Amino acid sequence: MSDSITRLNAALEGRYRIESELGEGGMATVYLADDIKHERKVALKVLKPELAAVVGAERFLAEIKTTANLQHPHILPLFDSGEADGFVFYVMPYVEGESLRERLDREHQLPVDEAVRIASDVAEALGYAHGRGVIHRDIKPANILIQAGRHTPLHEPRAGHGRPDSGSSHGHLRPRLRAV
């Protein structure tokens, strides 16, 4: 087990237990964790400590606030968030499955009806977010999760508040899109 996971487990003792790293982006690392209280698997996203030290946690905290206020069937909800021993984190459902990118890499092409269903689900979620002033800035197959043969929420989407041409950006939105 890596030193960061050991430190994170110590900081989150009694709440969450980190099992493994699921992925890493520019701002944060996502871990598979056990939610001890609710006895379920979750995805725990943690701001990189070195980034927090350099640019501060404000951008990540804005992402948390934005994500917490989006409630749509194709956007993964926020379960919890907080700060523990210098780690800033938020918790989302863990989606068993794969990204659209992984699926396309394996199959190269989707059946037309499934591709249309995924596009429709993603468009619906983006329309919902846009209607609330949130602009997703990182739509790509790697940020769309597919669960049990269904399309899943946007995952790791980058977004900001305001119009694309307004120059107003308050950080990255990282809700996960779920296509069902």
Residues with catalytic roles: 138
For the chain, the DSSP string reads: --HHHHHHHHHTTTTEEEEEEEEE-SSEEEEEEEETTTTEEEEEEEE-HHHHHHH-SHHHHHHHHHHHT--BTTBPPP-EEEEETTEEEEEEE---SEEHHHHHHHHSS--HHHHHHHHHHHHHHHHHHHHTTEEE---SGGGEEEETTEEEEE-S--EEES-TTTT---S---PPEE--
- Taking alpha carbons only, the member of 98, 1, 5, 72 closest to residue 44 is 5
Say how far residue 137 (Cα) sits from the centre of its chain: 13
How many residues belong to the chain? 180
